[in-house]
Homo-oligomer: A and B are copies of this chain.
């Protein structure tokens, strides 16, 4: 991804590259990407927002597509640990505990980035993979744990297809945000969990 130093081992001459600028530039890239989309984003915008020179960007990434690819891939790191997962003892409790204000904001930004690159995804397999790994999979992994716990404690049947279940809420949220352009509130999420996710999981409404 990143432009490699020509020879990694040799102690090169001259001023060293300031690696702390990397995340700042990538973050600026995501901001511009979310606001303007892939084609609306220009390298000058990114440089300006990161208060960096264009030359600095091109010293680190060889092209716009690779910069974007790296920026998207690096969102993967921003994901919450499975450590911090709630464990309330019920599936509904766990699902609702996952709806936090910062989570919603984080998801909103990710969806805006997603919106900015969907049209490229169909034509750029590398970007498609990066987007899946950074935006879809981390959330799926958390949901997988929560549903598996529910199966283990016998709350839901072992026959249900967990892979189907973990995709329901993300699909509904993405559809609502990207296509319907409606806000995703905490109330909407709870309603979705109660009227769609839990019925699909075979949980009786209490």
Give A60 Cβ to nearest chain B Cβ, in Å. 25
Is B181's CB under 8 angstroms from A175's CB?
A: no
**Copies, count:** 2
User: Contact check: which of B174, B191, B195 meets A179 at CB < 8 Å?
Assistant: B174
A120: which B residues are within 8 A, CB to CB?
A: 37
Contact with B along A115-132 (1 / 0, CB 8 A): 111111111000010011
A192: which B residues are within 8 A, CB to CB?
A: 164
Is A167's CB under 8 angstroms from B178's CB?
A: no
Which A residues between 161 and 206 are near B, CB-CB below 8 angstroms? 161, 164, 167-168, 170-172, 174-176, 178-181, 191-192, 195-196, 199-200, 202
A residues contacting B by CB (< 8 A) are: 36-40, 112, 114-123, 128, 131-132, 135-136, 160-161, 164, 167-168, 170-172, 174-176, 178-181, 191-192, 195-196, 199-200, 202
